[in-house]
Amino acid sequence: EAGVAQSPRYKIIEKRQSVAFWCNPISGHATLYWYQQILGQGPKLLIQFQNNGVVDDSQLPKDRFSAERLKGVDSTLKIQPAKLEDSAVYLCASSTSPRGAQETQYFGPGTRLLVL
């Protein structure tokens, strides 16, 4: 079974530029998550999708971050404009359902973003 795919793996941009990350979840997983992992910290949930609908985006900085999952499969996370403090690893995860007791989230390799 193929895992969660993410691209690019690394990205370096200057502040105020825009950047986009792509994620393809495990086949058949209805729920997709985007996390931000700042160096030295645990991952923090940015947004959660159930199919193509947003379940939770309470911690997404909506003035600069946006995400979509138009066809309920792959997803794109965008930052525009980027700030220095956005430097982090952006992790995508997927699971079969958001509320099942057996839910396990499976993570992709992440995209490491450096904002100069």
Partner 1 sequence: AQSVAQPEDQVNVAEGNPLTVKCTYSVSGNPYLFWYVQYPNRGLQFLLKYITGDNLVKGSYGFEAEFNKSQTSFHLKKPSALVSDSALYFCAVRDGDSSYKLIFGSGTRLLVRP
Instruction: Name the residues that contact partner 1, by CB under 8 A.
Output: 4, 6, 9, 40-45, 48, 55-56, 91, 93, 98-99, 101-110, 112
Q: Which is nearer to partner 1, 18 or 97 (CB)?
A: 97
- CA–CA dist 12, 32 (Å, integer): 25
Q: Which is nearer to partner 1, 43 or 115 (CB)?
A: 43
User: Least distance from C-beta 5 to partner 1, angstroms?
Assistant: 11
Q: Residue 58's CB: how many other CB atoms inside 10 A?
A: 9
- CA–CA dist 62, 55 (Å, integer): 15
User: Least distance from C-beta 78 to partner 1, angstroms?
Assistant: 20
Q: Which is nearer to partner 1, 9 or 62 (CB)?
A: 9
User: Least distance from C-beta 109 to partner 1, angstroms?
Assistant: 5
Q: Which is nearer to partner 1, 74 or 81 (CB)?
A: 74
- CA–CA dist 70, 63 (Å, integer): 20
Tokens 């105020």 correspond to 16
Do residues 11 and 113 make contact, with C-beta atoms less than 8 angstroms apart?
yes
User: Least distance from C-beta 105 to partner 1, angstroms?
Assistant: 6
> Which letter does DSSP use for residue 16 in this model?
T
